[in-house]
Structure 1
Amino acid sequence: MDAAFFLRLRTRFIGRYYSTGVKPFREVQRKIDAEESPYDEPPPSFDPEYGEPAYLEEWIEADEASQVVGRSAVSLLSDALKLYFKALEQQLGFRLSAEGRAIAKKEGFLSAYKGALGELLETDWADCPVRFDVIEQIVLARNCAQHGEHLSMLGARHDPKTLTRHRDLIFASEGELRMWVDDGADPETLLAPRLEITEEDLGAAITEVEKLAGWIEERVPGVLARRHDPVKQGS
């Protein structure tokens, strides 16, 4: 099985899924901002004395819907990465050891497979150009997205685990990230940066996942050659 090939099929689908999924919600926001029909006249219930712009609720709802699409796309990307590693087990003929499974349970599947593949590929990953901080944030963002904070909120915030490991958050607005850092970067804060997915940041995350698969793919022939090398087998 060509794990890298099927991973790229999934990542390209995820990119298209996100772009298509957010379009109607971004269009609602655009029309509200431009005061285009059907948002060219304030609704009958609009009261300018409250100081809020017309259709603010509809604008916020469209933004929240876009973020729901974004969080589902990140979840799909995290799942694709995990399935890719499992496909590599089949392609390269290995399994996580008992120690590896313990690491997966405690630290996550990314740490477990980095360890197992590091031995198989004979690398400490120092020569790998991939941003593993971004790869890890994909998995952490997926975990945050799966657990809502409160019934009254559709959004999600970065959890203490993420904020302890990362200060350079890929899935957060620059303004909220700067405020959090300037305020002391406390991982336990109640005002953690929100999990915010943009097309640009999702694209950057997808690029790192594909880059990792490409880097491993280049080393697959070496793994297979060593496996059939009698000198290596006897060492």
Structure 2
Amino acid sequence: MDVGHFLYERVGFIRQLYMTSAATYIERKRLIDAGEAPFEPPYSEDGEPPFLVEWLEADDSLHVLGYACLSMLSDTMKVFFDAWQREARVRDDPSLDKVFKKNGFVQGYRALFEKSLGIRFADSKVDMLLLEQVVMARNRIQHQEYLGSNRPSHSQADLNRLHNPFFMDKQERSLLVREKKNGTSIWLMAPRVSVTGTQLLTVLKEVERFSTWMDKAMQKVGERRGKRLHEKP
């Protein structure tokens, strides 16, 4: 099975799905901001921006679309690791069950492949914490706690671990965080999970970079195994 090929196919599908589906909402926001038809500003003295409800609805829609794509990406990454485990004939290691359960499947597979195959994810030069944040954000998206919003907030546990979460609006961070002299942060309230087009495209590219590296790392594993078999008397 060409694991890398199918990873690229799925990531490419996610990319085109977002870009095609987002176009309508991006255009609606642009029309409202520009005051173009059918969103010409009516005369009003109440001071509220015209078509605010429609603008916020389009903005929320873009984030929810990003959530769907990020969830697909998280599942794709899980299937990607599963596929390589099967291809490399690596058995589950009960001693690593706690790593999977406590730290998530990215760190779990990192430990499994390093122990079983000598593959070190750190050698990829890919931002593995960013890939972990895909899974963390997906968990918040899939397990929302508040009915009154389409957008979930980061958990306190995630904020304690991540000084500056990637999937967060920079403006929200500037309004909600207070920096302490020792480098820690105090959050006035938990920021919402943000998945913009730029954020999504950035992480999609990083997943592709990791897949390219993984292909080469697994090829070396195959070469080592072949060499050992050839050297056997």
**Same fold at TM > 0.5:** yes
Tell me the equivalent position of 2:22: 22
CA distance in 1 between counterparts of 2:217 and 2:62 reads 38
Alignment pair present for 1:202 and 2:165: no
What pairs with 1:44-123 in structure 2 (closer than 5 Å)?
Answer: 48-49=45-46, 51-123=47-119
Following superposition, the deviation at residue 110 of structure 1 comes to 1.0
Following superposition, the deviation at residue 182 of structure 1 comes to 2.9
CA contact (8 A) 1:35 1:41 kept: yes
**Cα shift readout 1:176-196 (whole Å, capped 9, x = no counterpart):** 22344435523xx46122211
Residue 170 of structure 1 aligns to which amino acid in structure 2?
Answer: F
Name segments (4+ residues, structure 1) moved above 6 Å. 231-234
CA contact (8 A) 2:119 2:217 kept: no
CA distance in 1 between counterparts of 2:117 and 2:219 reads 10
CA contact (8 A) 1:85 1:113 kept: yes
* 3-state SS, counterpart of residue 213 of structure 2: helix
CA distance in 2 between counterparts of 1:115 and 1:31 reads 50
Structure 1: gaps of 5 or more residues:
none
**Cα shift readout 1:192-235 (whole Å, capped 9, x = no counterpart):** 2221111111111111111111111112122122333447998x
Tell me the equivalent position of 2:215: 217
**Cα shift readout 1:45-97 (whole Å, capped 9, x = no counterpart):** x8632x21111111111111111001111111111100100110121111321
With over 3 angstroms needed to count, the CA separation of the structure-2 counterparts of 1:78 and 1:171, relative to structure 1, is same
* 3-state SS, counterpart of residue 94 of structure 1: coil
Residue 215 of structure 1 aligns to which amino acid in structure 2?
Answer: W
Following superposition, the deviation at residue 22 of structure 1 comes to 1.4
Residue 24 of structure 2 aligns to which amino acid in structure 1?
Answer: P
TM-score normalised to structure 1 length: 0.88
With over 3 angstroms needed to count, the CA separation of the structure-2 counterparts of 1:126 and 1:147, relative to structure 1, is closer
Equivalent residues, number: 228
Q: CA RMSD in A?
A: 2.2
CA distance in 1 between counterparts of 2:110 and 2:104 reads 10
**Cα shift readout 1:93-130 (whole Å, capped 9, x = no counterpart):** 11321123332122211111001111244244443201
TM-score normalised to structure 2 length: 0.89
CA distance in 1 between counterparts of 2:48 and 2:205 reads 40
CA contact (8 A) 2:113 2:120 kept: no
CA distance in 2 between counterparts of 1:226 and 1:141 reads 37
CA distance in 2 between counterparts of 1:70 and 1:32 reads 21
What percentage of residue pairs aligned between the two structures are identical?
A: 32
